[in-house]
Structure 1
Amino acid sequence: MLKNYALAILISFLFQGTAFAQTPCENGMAGIYPCNDYDLMSNLPISTLATTLGTEEGSDIWGWTDPLNGKEYAIVGTTNSTAFVDVSDPLNPIFLGRIETANGNTSFWRDVKVYNNYAFIVADSVGDHGMQVFDLTILRNGVDADLTYDGAQVIRYTGDGGAGDLVIGSCHNIVINESEGMAYLVGCGSANGGGPIFVDITNPTNPTTLGDYTTAGYTHDAQVVTYNGPDTDHTGKQIYIGSNGNTDKVVILDVTNKANVLPINSFTYPQTAYAHQGWFTEDQRYFVLGDEVDEQSFGNNTRTLVFDMIDLDADFSNTALLNTYMGPTLAIDHNGYVKGDKFYLANYRAGMRVLDVPTLISSNNTASEIGYFDTYPSSNSANFNGAWSIYPYFASGNIIISDIERGLFVVRQSNTLSTIQYDETGSFSLSPNPTSSVSVIKSNSNSKINSVQIYNILGQKVYENNNINTNEFVLPVNNYAKGLFLIKINHSKTKKLVIK
């Protein structure tokens, strides 16, 4: 076992070495990747994350923050496994290990969500996969001895013989409403026609099926919230909003009582092709939806639809669709999530696009896009490559992206450090900048250089000298990794330095 552990540690360090270190977004590029206001922290290739097949692909992604120590982890779905990566240091992500797919079934559609320090994983078109349950606190142990979590570490739930004896096998998606401890399995194929299956996960190691709902038809993806939006008739209820794929509609259900689901509403929209996935704004007033196939079917640019949900019971036939935003490229939209006033969209070949929610819901929304990071630099055409999904909810501000061909990306908005303030003005210059070796601070006035601190992009101080009294100072950056650093002079002036 010690030999295996040592080998795993070595392999993990090698995998760390394949991660591309931080590359700032400068003049519209972060290395080979087009960008706007988002820096590349690191990238782990799909060949590291997935069991080698030769046809590895990435799919869904989610994140977990350890409540014990605040460490952040990426959970990445692949064709044949689910990979776990410590991204607490986003410049040096550590691949910890993976869970192999159940019964050796390969799937290009694997989905994962988190509840109460457990990961819940489903896969589509794989027969009897079921729902895998994994205790995420195991990740505190570091790199797994053989890079594979198995045996008693992974619970496989295929039903419990109750609630109509539903068998859970292949499912396209899993939705979790954390406030009620409930998983909603959707797109489960022959099990029930693809409508939601309700699984109580308040005891994560002992899930219990409570039933299902088939009347609304197949759901491709959904969101379930404990409602606190503007329609006070539904305050406190468990509200399900499902994107029903090629049935071309969105359904709203009251799923508070799993034995008596109440339909509230359903609606469609112009040029429907495949109602794929959507997300409420944080006030639950608006619903932001993507249709996955309209770009190919109708030849339009990326289309994002905004619906006004002020009254969940209203006649939506003419009034629900508030705005339509057309993106700058032909790329297909996929999963999108709201955090605060930003909508983070996985836009396949156009990578991650960031939209400003207040602008998105305004009458003149052409300026909605406020940033992007393109993980697929060779093309923005309407094809199924590139960014599959995004997790923007880490407290650190780091964002993780799963790319079908290129694996895990960790990105971060430029100039977001909270520990120090930027100040590019003043009486000091910094050159050369960018640099690959040395850079010199020079005083452009009678002011002396008295102190220098160097910070990395995370706001961590990596150098300090408070005993300087000169007009020129050579920065000791020869051994620093490539990326963006902040140079603080005399505790007052801050300048950016790029090491290339």
Structure 2
Amino acid sequence: MKKRLKLPLSIQLLFICVIIFTTFQACDDEPVDPVVIVDSDGDGIPDGEDNCPEASNPNQEDTDNDGVGDICDTPDITDSDNDGIPDSEDNCPTIANPNQEDDNNDGIGNACQDTPATTPLFECINGMAGPYPCNGYNLMSHIPINILGELNAEGNDSWGWTDSTTGNEYAIVGTTQGTAFINVTDPINPIFLGRLASASPGNSGNVWRDMKVYNNYVFIVSEASGHGMQVFDLTRLRNVANPPENFTADTHFTGFGSAHNIVINEDSGYAYIVGTSRSGTFAGGPLFINIQNPLNPINEGGFFGYSHDAQVINYNGPDTDYTGQEILIGSNENEVVIVNVTDKANPQIISDIAYNNIGYTHQGWFTENLNYFILGDEIDEQSFGGNTRTIVFDFTDLDNPAFHMNYFGPTAAIDHNGYVKGNTFYIANYSAGVRFVDISGIASGTMTEVGYFDTYPANNSTSFHGAWNVYPYFNSGNIIVSDIEGGLFIVQKQN
């Protein structure tokens, strides 16, 4: 009988382990579950490695290298208005506009810009918008002064701000107790966001308050004693959780006390404070405040002689002697003064001009070509009678300004602040509301009223009631009017 070879126990165990390992992939007391490979889309790429496990893409294309395969990364191609432009790219996705016209470059196509989303509060029909006399302008909405201010408040000046990030539009309205902020992006449903109280000691009220905007900040002055200049960061208005809020200023500049008005040259980053104390260093003349860092204003001097209001520009008009210079046009009670303020340490008078029947040289504004300066005299209607008078000067030669024409409005109301946009002159005309005057023929001596909205329907008397200021510079066509008794009016031109 053949003798069987007996292997050592250790060798026998080794053979058993090999057999088990080939079956269960391990040599342990318990077998391990087999690995399951999941490939949901059946493209040969396991889900754990697939950059688009929901759709077959065996080549794993990822053009933008964002880790998501192209087949899953395809942009939305919905085209709601069927104009061939995907909604994600269409500047007006609800109305067909294949050419994407956007005249004011605000990112909203003309087709949507020109279509009112809702109905005005009062449409101008047969010369009336509800209780307000009108011609060609609708009342979109109205916020009364007792909401914007405190008890017995009155309204005064106003300005506007457009948020370049969101495109939202805001009205900034002065009252006797402070400054109110309103989101007017939807002119039918404005949102009163809150107030910034006056900076005067004891929060004493004052009827004169003025504000202008530079680089997303508003700068506010008042004739209230010791007020100085408040600086408020307007980007804070983007996220107001529970309006209306009581805001605080970001900076309070105390380099002067009271002031009637503030003017800002947004191109140079300088604020010009006018109507300060007549007993001050410059006797109420413009103070030069560097606001290029809005939270750190720097006083750089001033110009002697009381100024009630001014416009300051980097000049690029017809008089080439002053191209590139910073020019101030001062409305100085009894004359208009033209000053070169390029060198803040050495401002130079270029010229001055008076006119007949001076009541109070109040405020003026250049035409856009800088050929003409349109001036309002605040009390000539009271002093000399007659209808609203606006004086126009020829400023084509800054060294030799000349009287050009008088324009007389249809009522005896006092004119207050006026501004130019395109070929329209906008006048806050106190008891006659806001008036819209076509100045396209100004060179030939023609100015023609083409519309109005009367915020003070009681009368058109020669008195200090009604519209204090108008701001016409929103791209949307919203026009804000601040009224002494009425508060904020938002109007739009009728289509």
Q: CA deviation at 1:146?
A: 6.2
- Structure 1 CA distance, aligned partners of 2:478 and 2:348? 39
1:291 is the counterpart of 2:381: no
For 2:422, the aligned partner's letter is G
For 2:457, the aligned partner's letter is P
Q: CA deviation at 1:378?
A: 1.1
The 5 Å alignment of 1:395-406 reads 395-406=475-486
Are the equivalent residues in 1 in contact too, given 2:192–2:244 (CA < 8 A)? no
TM-score by length of 2: 0.74
Q: CA deviation at 1:183?
A: 0.1
- Structure 1 CA distance, aligned partners of 2:184 and 2:309? 27
Q: CA deviation at 1:22?
A: 1.9
CA spacing shift, 1:144–1:256, aligned 2, 3 Å: farther
1:88 is the counterpart of 2:185: yes
> What is the match of residue 253 of structure 2?
157
CA spacing shift, 1:138–1:321, aligned 2, 3 Å: same
For 1:142, the aligned partner's letter is V
Aligned to 2:236, what secondary structure does the other structure show?
Answer: helix
The 5 Å alignment of 1:120-269 reads 120-124=219-223, 126-143=224-241, 147-150=245-248, 153-159=249-255, 168-189=256-277, 190-191=279-280, 192-214=282-304, 217-245=305-333, 248-269=334-355
1:331 is the counterpart of 2:413: yes
Q: How many residues align?
A: 373
> What is the match of residue 420 of structure 1?
none
CA spacing shift, 1:144–1:127, aligned 2, 3 Å: farther
> What is the match of residue 369 of structure 1?
449
- Structure 2 CA distance, aligned partners of 1:253 and 1:35? 39
> What is the match of residue 450 of structure 1?
none
For 1:23, the aligned partner's letter is F
State the identity as a percent. 58
For 1:22, the aligned partner's letter is L
After superposition, the CA RMSD in angstroms is: 1.2
Q: CA deviation at 1:361?
A: 4.1
Structure in which a larger fraction of residues adopt strand = 1
> What is the match of residue 489 of structure 2?
409
- Comparing 198-207 and 350-359, the one that deviates more: 350-359
1:389 is the counterpart of 2:469: yes
Aligned to 1:358, what secondary structure does the other structure show?
Answer: coil
Q: CA deviation at 1:127?
A: 1.4
- Structure 2 CA distance, aligned partners of 1:323 and 1:22? 38
- Structure 2 CA distance, aligned partners of 1:157 and 1:263? 28
CA spacing shift, 1:356–1:193, aligned 2, 3 Å: same
Please identify runs of 4+ aligned residues in structure 1 that moved more than 6 A.
Answer: none
For 1:169, the aligned partner's letter is G
Aligned to 2:441, what secondary structure does the other structure show?
Answer: helix
The 5 Å alignment of 1:417-496 reads none
The 5 Å alignment of 1:37-56 reads 37-52=136-151, 54=152, 56=153
Tell me which of the two structures has the higher relative contact order, counting C-alpha pairs closer than 8 angstroms and 6 or more residues apart. Answer: 1
- Structure 1 CA distance, aligned partners of 2:158 and 2:443? 27
- Structure 2 CA distance, aligned partners of 1:226 and 1:364? 28
Q: CA deviation at 1:79?
A: 0.3
CA spacing shift, 1:144–1:307, aligned 2, 3 Å: farther
Q: CA deviation at 1:363?
A: 2.7
For 1:307, the aligned partner's letter is F
> What is the match of residue 346 of structure 1?
428
TM-score by length of 1: 0.73
For 1:134, the aligned partner's letter is F
Q: CA deviation at 1:21?
A: 5.5
Are the equivalent residues in 2 in contact too, given 1:21–1:92 (CA < 8 A)? no
For 1:68, the aligned partner's letter is T
Superimposed CA distance per residue, residues 196-225 of structure 1 (whole angstroms, 9 cap, x where no aligned partner):
0000000000000001111xx110000000
For 1:80, the aligned partner's letter is Q
> What is the match of residue 172 of structure 2?
75
Are the equivalent residues in 2 in contact too, given 1:302–1:328 (CA < 8 A)? yes
Q: Greater Rg, structure 1 or structure 2?
A: 2
Are the equivalent residues in 2 in contact too, given 1:96–1:143 (CA < 8 A)? no
- Structure 2 CA distance, aligned partners of 1:66 and 1:286? 31
2:196 to 96, 99, 122: 99
- Structure 1 CA distance, aligned partners of 2:208 and 2:348? 30
- Comparing 275-284 and 102-111, the one that deviates more: 102-111
Superimposed CA distance per residue, residues 64-88 of structure 1 (whole angstroms, 9 cap, x where no aligned partner):
0001110000000000110000000
Q: CA deviation at 1:154?
A: 3.1
Are the equivalent residues in 1 in contact too, given 2:193–2:243 (CA < 8 A)? no
Aligned to 1:47, what secondary structure does the other structure show?
Answer: helix
> What is the match of residue 67 of structure 2?
none
Q: CA deviation at 1:334?
A: 0.2
Q: CA deviation at 1:142?
A: 2.3
Superimposed CA distance per residue, residues 232-257 of structure 1 (whole angstroms, 9 cap, x where no aligned partner):
00000000000012xx1000000000
CA spacing shift, 1:297–1:88, aligned 2, 3 Å: same
1:311 is the counterpart of 2:408: no
For 1:381, the aligned partner's letter is S
Name stretches of at least 5 consecutive residues in structure 1 with no aligned partner.
Answer: 1-19, 160-167, 416-500
Superimposed CA distance per residue, residues 242-279 of structure 1 (whole angstroms, 9 cap, x where no aligned partner):
0012xx10000000000010110001000001000000
- Structure 1 CA distance, aligned partners of 2:442 and 2:417? 17
Superimposed CA distance per residue, residues 295-315 of structure 1 (whole angstroms, 9 cap, x where no aligned partner):
00001100011111010001x
> What is the match of residue 468 of structure 1?
none
2:213 to 114, 118, 121: 114
Q: CA deviation at 1:106?
A: 1.1
CA spacing shift, 1:146–1:22, aligned 2, 3 Å: closer
- Structure 1 CA distance, aligned partners of 2:198 and 2:441? 42
Superimposed CA distance per residue, residues 165-224 of structure 1 (whole angstroms, 9 cap, x where no aligned partner):
xxx11000000000000000000013331100000000000000001111xx11000000
For 2:233, the aligned partner's letter is D
- Structure 2 CA distance, aligned partners of 1:322 and 1:258? 31
